[in-house]
Homo-oligomer: A and B are copies of this chain.
């Protein structure tokens, strides 16, 4: 499970080692069935050392969530100059049809943690902060395209929110039983970009 893009091996300190073990245990068990013992079992650290660094399981998992979202943002960052290229590069980055196993494990872990945001404000705030970064990047690209006339006179916030939400749905579908949803969303969002976004 352990992915070098999520956890670079060099210079790992105790906190990094605990986070990596927590991630491995999360990937294996999912949030609902995850215990601190699972995390200790996945690492060379004792439960008491884990509790030296973190108040409880959720304190640790929220720190892990921040780390994972930061790494994922860096991994999927898009810096295209052209607004349309930017939008399509975002779609390509997150809606790849053949996802490497480690990205698939990551997606499962994220779906599992995101569900907790329905019941726990702390998880909700972490995801909101991350979603805003992705959405703002898309919104800025749409706004830029509108300014140059490459895009229609659309509502950039609304378009960005729609695209991010559809992508989130596809990520959930991918790991909860509807693998075909991913190419369908990629293709239909392409048609949406061409018919609803790009200027005639």
Contacts and interface: CB of A to CB of B under 8 A. Distances in A.
Contacts of A178: 128, 131, 161, 165
A161 B176 contact: no
Given A165-B170, A169-B172, A180-B161, A31 B185 contact: no
B161 A124 contact: no
Contacts of A125: 177
A108 B124 CA distance: 13
Nearest to A125: B177
B177 A127 contact: yes
Nearest to A180: B161
Contact of A185 (B33, B165, B176): B165
Nearest to A157: B184
Interface string A185-200: 1011101100110000
A168 interface: yes
Q: How many copies does the complex hold?
A: 2
Contacts of A114: 115, 172, 176
B30 A115 contact: yes
Given A168-B172, A172-B172, A173-B168, A108 B118 contact: yes
Interface of A: 29-33, 108, 111-112, 114-120, 123-125, 127-128, 131, 155, 157-159, 161-162, 164-170, 172-173, 175-178, 180-181, 183-185, 187-189, 191-192, 195-196
Given A124-B177, A131-B178, A168-B173, 17 more contacts: A29-B119, A31-B115, A33-B119, A115-B115, A118-B176, A123-B176, A125-B177, A127-B176, A157-B180, A157-B184, A161-B185, A162-B188, A165-B181, A165-B184, A165-B185, A167-B169, A195-B195
